[in-house]
Amino acid sequence: MDDNKEKQSVNFIETIINEELSEGKNDGRIHTRFPPEPNGYLHIGHAKSILLNYGISQEYKGKFNLRFDDTNPTKEEQEYVDSILEDVKWLGADWEDRLFFASDYFDQLYEWAEKIIMNGKAYVDDQPAEKISEQRGTPSKPGTESPFRNRIPEENLDLFRRMKAGEFPNGAKVLRAKVDMTSPNMHMRDPVMYRILHAHHHRTGDKWCLYPMYDWAHGESDYLEGITHSICTLEFEVHRPLYDWFVDQIQEAEYRPRQIEFARLNLSYTVMSKRKLLELVKEGYVNGWDDPRMPTISGLRRRGYTPESLKIFAEKVGVAKRNNVIDVALLEHSVREDLNKKASRVMAVLDPLKVIITNYPENETEILRAENNPEDPDAGYRDLPFSNEVYIERSDFMTDPPKKYFRLAPGREVRLKNAYIIKCEDYKTDEVTGEIVEVYCTYDPESKSGGAGSQRKVKGTLHWVSAQHAIDAEVRQFDRLFKNEDPENVEAGQDYKANLNPDSLTIMKACKVEPGLRDVNPGDKFQFQRMGYFCVDTDSTPEMPVFNRTVPLRDPWSKMSSKK
RNA sequence: UGCCCGAUGGUGUAAUUGGCAACACGUCUGACUCUGAAUCAGAAGAGUCCAGGUUCGAACCCUGGUCGGGCAACCA
């Protein structure tokens, strides 16, 4: 099985690694990391990155670190650290004992900064942010040098130490790397290494009033951890020369980390920026970060996605450098593929219509046998009660059906899954509304599933639930959060929120499900036959189980019928 | 007007590193079916952004364009 696992095509990062390996770089050691900033919840784009980094470490028998990039105390919170830890763990990316924080390295970073100052490669600038920004020029205009650029190392060191000691207020001074104000790369125009921030840090408390900037902290953190491949997204491509410049300042031996950039994941009908997701949460467009409609890992988890389904997805999506928009259908396909193998089949009627079987004894209950999962012989069987009154799906009965409609209609026969063939003899409508209230059928006693006369074929098979045995349940159905494939595609003056789908959430409170579903726990997953995959929500109680629809089953009929 | 990336069916990713474009999703047929699911069989759909060049041969190399994305926080 394994050997005919068609020669897996390698992505461009693996190609690079393979080349380096054959050159003997870093002694053949492979070490990756995932470096989230704890300022928001992780989303499926992060999942791609986590799975990529962890996957590479596994593939090459290397190591994988989790490191929080917590260099900005004004935006970061413990709540986010906790959620990120939970999400990464849930995905199965194992950092073993290598959980780190950039803030763990503040002392080392500071020490190095002093060294760089003494090497004449960094200086303290007294100018305000606006002034520095002005002098930086524009992409097409070179920058000009700060009047403080040529301070002598001793003076810089003294000032830097006083910055650390807290002698200056926020914004009074910064430490800048002395690189090249005329570089065509804006990031090389004497970037800021440290800013003064009298702020409480979630880990270091009030120890520091001086915090390193991303570019300075990131590569050095990689270096300290022995990271060999620092994989990040495309927008950091222009930072790479600076990443390398900073490593140059401190590198001591042969080893050095290498930054490689790949294209971030984009999903159709979805927004992915932390800022927008935060906005959706804060302004109440969704019910929290783990709202099942959110593309967050916690949202997907609550929705019923499995870690495996996300792995399947990540593999199908691939890794490259070109901008992409993945069809959400691929995500949906990935869960179905996983859940099809694992989820027990059960029957649940979401929009019940009562069917009375007129020739079945009124007070009798019959126990039928039902297969739990035709895809998994080991899943076994369960008992199902049957009686003379059952509920079927309202959409499974029509008084005047179109051609090709295989379900129940006056005079037509249909099979009740795992039970009998029934025939519609009559129905009753509400005199006022015209709504169908009951359907009257007769059953064929010879047609019992598994019985001698069960070979008889009918066009349709319906799911059902015995009226007197069924239990009540709430079902939440989700549709895409945005109406437009590209949520950003709006008329002038509007933003992505104009594309919000008002019908993204449908709550059905009168559902009837088979009695075996009485004792379920949040997270349990099922296939409601003919309906889709569902997952028990955290709001579920023993009195009222709540199911989230993870994804509907593929449904050619609804496609066919809605086309006309 | 500067610099850095990228460009292959509707979507995404490949192509033994120069040998007549493959896989997946989606779409459409059909078979099977006690889930209109799954499964199985098949089909349509790109001639690789454009123009030159090198070569027996180019999606891969070279030149010049075009288009798309990124870069001017004391954010990451």
Q: What's the pLDDT tens digit per position in A408-423? A: 999 999 999 999 999 9
Å from the A6 CA to the B41 C1': 22
Contact A277, A298 (CB under 8 A): no
Which of A277, A336, A278 is CA-nearest to residue A487? A277
Q: How far is CA A172 from CA A124, A146, A193, A208, in A?
A: 10, 15, 14, 16
Report the pLDDT value the prediction gives residue A454, as an integer from 0 to 100.
84
3-state secondary structure of A460: coil
Is the minimum distance from the CB of A129 to strand B below 7 Å? yes
Report the pLDDT value the prediction gives residue A7, as an integer from 0 to 100.
54
Å from the A189 CA to the B2 C1': 14
**pLDDT-flagged residues of chain A (< 70):** 1-7, 563-564
Residues 215-234 of A with CB under 7 A from strand B: 215, 217-218, 234
Is the minimum distance from the CB of A273 to strand B below 7 Å? no
Report the pLDDT value the prediction gives residue A564, as an integer from 0 to 100.
53
Residues 35-94 of A with CB under 7 A from strand B: 35, 37, 69, 71-72, 75
Å from the A412 CA to the B74 C1': 75
Report the pLDDT value the prediction gives residue A559, as an integer from 0 to 100.
87
Is the minimum distance from the CB of A415 to strand B below 7 Å? yes
Contact A207, A152 (CB under 8 A): no
- The ipTM (two decimal places) reads 0.96
Contact A229, A31 (CB under 8 A): yes
pTM: 0.95
Report the pLDDT value the prediction gives residue A1, as an integer from 0 to 100.
29
Residue with tokens 């932390």: A274
Question: CB atoms < 10 A from the CB of A368, how many?
Answer: 19
Q: Are strands A31-34 and A63-68 parallel, antiparallel or unpaired?
A: parallel
Å from the A435 CA to the B16 C1': 66
Residue A185 one-letter amino acid = N
The residues pairing with A439 across neighbouring beta strands, listed in sequence order, are: A355, A427
Is the minimum distance from the CB of A309 to strand B below 7 Å? no
- Structural tokens at position A188: 């090389």
Å from the A16 CA to the B59 C1': 20
Q: Roughly what angle, to the nearest 10 degrees, separates helices A307-317 and A78-91?
A: 80
Which active-site residues of A does the annotation give? Answer: 37, 264, 274
Is the minimum distance from the CB of A404 to strand B below 7 Å? yes
DSSP string of A19-87?
Answer: HHHHTTGGGG--EEEE---SSS--BHHHHHHHHHHHHHHHHTT-EEEEEE----TTT--HHHHHHHHHH
Phi, psi (degrees; rounded to nearest 5) at A271: -105, 150
Residue A26 one-letter amino acid = N
Residues 465-524 of A with CB under 7 A from strand B: none
Residue A470 one-letter amino acid = A
